[in-house]
Structure formats: C-alpha cells, structure tokens
C-alpha cells in the first residue's frame, strides 16, 4: 500500500495499491478488446443501474477462468494490472506456444510454472479438482458446476477454505462466513488471489471516482418530496418514514432479498451472519 503526503486537500488520505510486483512489459494485444460502454443503460436506453457513466477508456483482457489446457505446463510471462477487475492478472505462455491471461495468485512471481489437471501438483497457482485438495487449504476461482469455469473467489485478496469432503461434495467456507457445498469434481486454483491490500485503498477525491466510471450519488433527504420518500421539509429534516426505503418506496435495510425457493438453498449448510 502506498500512502501520499498531504501536499493538497485531495492528496490528504489518498492511497493506492502497491504496483511494485507488476512487470514492465507491454500487454498482449491479441488478448485485449474494446467493450462498448452502456453507462448503466439497458437495450431500451433506460437507466437500469444508477450512478454509472464517463470514466477513462479501458481495454478488456480476455481471462481464462476455465484454465482447461490440461497437463500442459505454463510459464508466468508477466504480472499485469487489469482495469476491469480488482485483482492482478498473469500472462501465461504454455509449452505449446499458446498465451492466455489468468487470475494471478498472491506471491506468484514472473518465471514460475503453473499447470492444470486432475493430477496437478498441490502448489500455489496450480489448478485441480476439489476432492484432491487437502482440508484446510485456501483456494480461489472455483467452479460451481464442473467444466463451466471459475465463478466464485475471483476478487482481490479473496481465499476460500476447504472444510470437508463428503458424499460427492466439498464443503467451502466463504469470506462472508457462509459454508456451502460444491461438487468435488469441480476445479479450483490453489492459493489466495493477488492484490490483498485492495480493500485499504482510499480514493481521496471525487475526481478519482469519475475516472472509475462512478457518477455522484445524491442523498434522498436533499431531494423534493416527489423524487424521494425522504425529500422535502424546511431545512434538515428527519427521515419521516417508519422504515428505510428506496426512492421507489421499497423497504430496505435488513430486508432479506434472497428468494426463499431458490434451488441452491439446499447447497448452503450455514448462512452468513
């Protein structure tokens, strides 16, 4: 983590992640593409996600979440920054000459070798089936369905602990404290995701949010009565409603949003606190 000296009001308290581990090599152009920006609009042009728009121009890196080149060793060619995600990414060149981007595990350096497969060595960065990985090991980029590719454990600094192997399922402890079952034939990568200090980053100024495609959020109490349930009144007024609500009058704050009959409820052993 890099802290700035308070040379200006906006610099005071600003911090950035440590990029000293990244390699100073150009990106792989064949693995990058430009995605169309929608600024939170749907196919009808209506805002479906508020507070999005603007931001710096960025290129999307095609990440291989499956890592399905089985039993072919790959050498870490570079560790790079990815503007579309919080974690760093690793550029891998395989023995057959193919290049791919994968999520970079923490502590993995340039020049290291990784491999995927049902018999892959149990080392950081390697990818294998869950039932082979010892209890207590931390993993990331885990498949929910065998062969679909990693769907959970992909953010910066995330690691998920293996608690048990039982009746065709592996029990996983999530960062939230939830314990859930996943098929033990699903693949997972060993180790923690890179950039674990990301949660300590302080943007420091509004402009930095705008660079990240984040637009300002207006308080409901600053609006008119017709625009929000909290709006109106002379001066600073209390909320005036019994329960907290969204601008559309939907009750929020402590209300459970998960569907009661969701199919995956049976896979959850213990809910998060």
- How high is the pLDDT of residue 133? 94
Average pLDDT for the chain: 93
The pLDDT value recorded for residue 20 is 87
Position 72 in a domain: yes
pLDDT of 127 strictly over 90: yes
The single residue listed with the structure tokens 């095609």 is: 62
Token pair for 138: 């931390």
As given in the structure block, the two tokens for residue 14 are: 């600003």
When pLDDT is cut at 50, 70 and 90, the band that residue 2 belongs to is confident
- Find out whether 94 and 73 touch, Cβ atoms under 8 Å: yes
| Predicted TM-score (pTM) of this structure | 0.89
Q: Give domain status of residue 73, yes or no.
A: yes
Give 273's pLDDT tier (boundaries 50, 70, 90). confident
The answer to whether residue 206 is domain-embedded is: no
Structure confidence by residue, pLDDT tens digits, 90-123:
999 999 989 999 999 999 999 999 999 999 999 9
Strand partners, 105: 193
255 has a pLDDT exceeding 90? no
Residue 74 belongs to some domain of the structure: yes
Between CA 211 and CA 173 the distance in angstroms is: 35
Domain housing 52: 18-199
In a domain, 3, yes or no: no
Instruction: Determine the pLDDT at residue 253.
Output: 85
User: Residue 105, class by beta-carbon neighbours within 10 Å (0-12 exposed, 13-18 middle, 19+ buried)?
Assistant: buried
| 131 band by pLDDT with thresholds 50, 70 and 90 | very high
pLDDT at site 148: 94
Closest alpha carbon to 102 in 61, 134, 47, 142: 61
Q: Is the pLDDT of residue 53 over 90?
A: yes
**Side-by-side strand order, sheet with 89-94:** 99-103, 89-94, 74-80, 113-114
Q: Residue 209's pLDDT is what?
A: 95
Q: The domain that contains 158 carries what CATH number?
A: 2.40.50.140
Tell me what the mean pLDDT of segment 244-257 comes to. Answer: 90
In a domain, 50, yes or no: yes
Q: Is residue 97 situated within a structural domain?
A: yes
Instruction: Please give the share of the chain, as a percent, with pLDDT higher than 90.
Output: 89
Q: Band the pLDDT of 230: cuts 50, 70, 90.
A: very high
Q: How many domains, the chain?
A: 1
Does the residue 255 lie in any domain? no
């Amino acid at each position: 983590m890099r802290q700035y000296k308070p040379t200006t009001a906006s610099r005071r308290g600003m911090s950035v992640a440590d990029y000293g581990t990244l390699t100073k090599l150009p990106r792989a152009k064949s693995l990058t593409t430009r995605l169309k920006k929608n600024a939170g609009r749907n196919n009808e042009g209506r805002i479906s996600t508020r507070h999005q728009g603007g931001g710096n121009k960025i290129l999307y890196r095609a990440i291989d979440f499956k890592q399905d080149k089985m039993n072919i060793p790959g050498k870490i060619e570079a560790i790079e920054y990815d503007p579309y995600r919080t974690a760093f990414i690793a550029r891998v060149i395989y023995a057959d000459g193919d290049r791919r981007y994968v999520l970079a595990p923490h502590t993995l350096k340039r020049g290291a070798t990784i491999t995927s497969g049902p018999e892959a060595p149990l080392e950081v960065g390697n990818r294998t089936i869950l039932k082979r990985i010892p209890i207590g090991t931390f993993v990331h980029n885990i498949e929910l369905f065998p062969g679909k590719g990693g769907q959970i454990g992909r953010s910066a600094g995330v690691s998920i602990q293996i608690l048990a192997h039982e009746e065709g399922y592996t029990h996983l402890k999530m960062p939230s404290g939830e314990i859930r079952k996943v098929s033990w034939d699903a693949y997972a990568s060993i180790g923690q995701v890179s950039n674990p200090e990301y949660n300590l980053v302080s943007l420091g100024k509004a402009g930095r949010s705008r660079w990240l495609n984040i637009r300002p959020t207006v308080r409901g109490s600053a609006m008119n009565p017709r625009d929000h349930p909290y709006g109106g009144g002379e001066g600073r007024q209390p909320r005036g409603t019994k329960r907290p609500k969204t601008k559309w009058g939907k009750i929020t704050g402590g209300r459970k949003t998960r569907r009661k009959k969701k199919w995956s409820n049976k896979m959850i052993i213990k809910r998060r606190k």
